[in-house]
Structure 1
């Protein structure tokens, strides 16, 4: 098994959380799963669909690779996440990471229901690939947070079946890329010398991450476009590991007004 870890790193920048994760992942697999080989590639470009198309095509065009593992530069997780992803043995496996924001109103509303503030934060948090992306035995949710019945979720081991997964941590088998290429020949282009070829790609590019319009004419992101082509176009399935803790690094503005604190009798 040979996996290319692909990381978009705009501005040549990655987080220390990401670096710790990558080193931990490679050390763990070298010691516990020596049959799994990792290669890694950074690409510092501003256009995400271009970066993801290039990395996917590098795997597609080289039969030595079995998988592409996207790991974005702001993600953190334990090696057990990738172990679960590989063990699932599905063409496309992701996870459901937190969004880089917290709804403070939702968090505060849980204060009487959940005593532990850390647990309350996990519950109040919005997630990428949760809510309306979940797939139920009777069909997907109609809107974010619409979980009709937990019993209707489609579960297999540590994974739930979903209709969409973010690309922050996403494992794609080479065979999935082959199926997309066969189903959407218009996405394949071999005239790449003045574009993708400048970044070392040879043999052609599969533009499977190009944005596409929904039924309202709105263009979604590259992750949604890929998932729609895979699920709706190829009849494929997407599974997400939900048993692992995921860190999504972001920035926060800490707002203070000391007089307000004094006004509440605190110093």
Structure 2
């Protein structure tokens, strides 16, 4: 576990956000540049944050441990999940916090072709995806590459918060992020997309993939 716990700025806001990043071997330079700018802006704004990374090869286990460790503390209000291969703007946290939702995330493209968005209208039909849009949009599930979750969500859910499961046809898996969304919706929480800030988010592979540039909605 890597933790960056303190900033030399006066805290002026009533939220404390843990930024949680599961890491396999390394973080991308795009992530490093983005997180540095985000942390600088949070410091300037008086936004209390802590950055935590957990290295491993099982993302469900990493997310679970990051969440459990966060819940052991009494004063944090949100977890901002950011994956180690994401590029994002410095005002990402402020944009998501401003809507005061229990769960709110960004839409982004997959890294491998055919490039598709990671937000879903139906968790049991992976073809029903949410493409480029504006404003807020409610969805059934979305990838957790850039997602803000209130503490109360985890306090209400039974463990495990994250797991993987086979879909009914046994040809594809429900990943740990979609599993989390499924459990959260069962517990009565809505899942929201912030489509405007999503336009400034990219999923980084051999290049940076975006919703507008790489995902074409099939008709």
TM-score, normalised via structure 2 length:
0.78
> Is residue 2:172 matched to residue 1:248?
no
Q: Does 1:60 align with 2:37?
A: no
Q: Which has the higher strand share?
A: 2
TM-score (norm 1): 0.64
Match of 2:60 among 49, 52, 67: 49
Query: How far apart are the structure 1 equivalents of 2:43 and 2:177?
Result: 30
1:145-188 deviation digits (Å, cap 9, x = unpaired): 578xx9xxxx9x832111101111111110000111xxx3xx2x
* Alpha-carbon shift at residue 215 of structure 1 (Å): 4.2
Show the counterpart of 2:23.
9
Unaligned runs of 5+ in 1: 104-124, 188-206, 253-267
Equivalent residue in structure 1 for 2:98, among 52, 77, 87: 87
Q: 1:10 to 1:161 in 2, by over 3 A?
A: same
Structure 2 counterpart SS, 1:17:
helix
Which deviates further from its counterpart, 68-77 or 157-166? 157-166
Give the C-alpha shift of residue 81 in structure 1.
2.6
**Alignment of structure 1 residues 86-165 onto 2, 5 Å:** 86-103=97-114, 125-129=115-119, 133-134=120-121, 144=127, 158-165=135-142
Larger radius of gyration: 1
Tell me the C-alpha RMSD between the 2 structures.
2.5
1:237 and 2:190 correspond: yes
Distance 1:19 1:94, change over 3 A: same
Please say if residues 118 and 129 of structure 2, whose CA atoms lie closer than 8 Å, have aligned partners that are also in contact: no
Q: Tell me how far apart the structure 1 counterparts of residues 113 and 173 of structure 2 sit (CA, whole Å).
A: 25
Distance 2:162 2:63 in 1: 6
Match of 1:209 among 145, 156, 162: 162
Question: What does the per-residue CA deviation read over 1:200-234, in whole Å, with 9 as the maximum and x for residues that have no partner?
Answer: xxxxxxx2102234444564110111111011x20
In structure 2, how many angstroms separate the alpha carbons of the residues matched to 1:179 and 1:27?
32
The 3 A distance-change label for structure 1 pair 158 and 84 is farther
Quick check: 1:59–1:67 contact (8 Å CA) kept in 2?
no
Distance 2:39 2:150 in 1: 19
- CA positional deviation for 1:62: 1.3
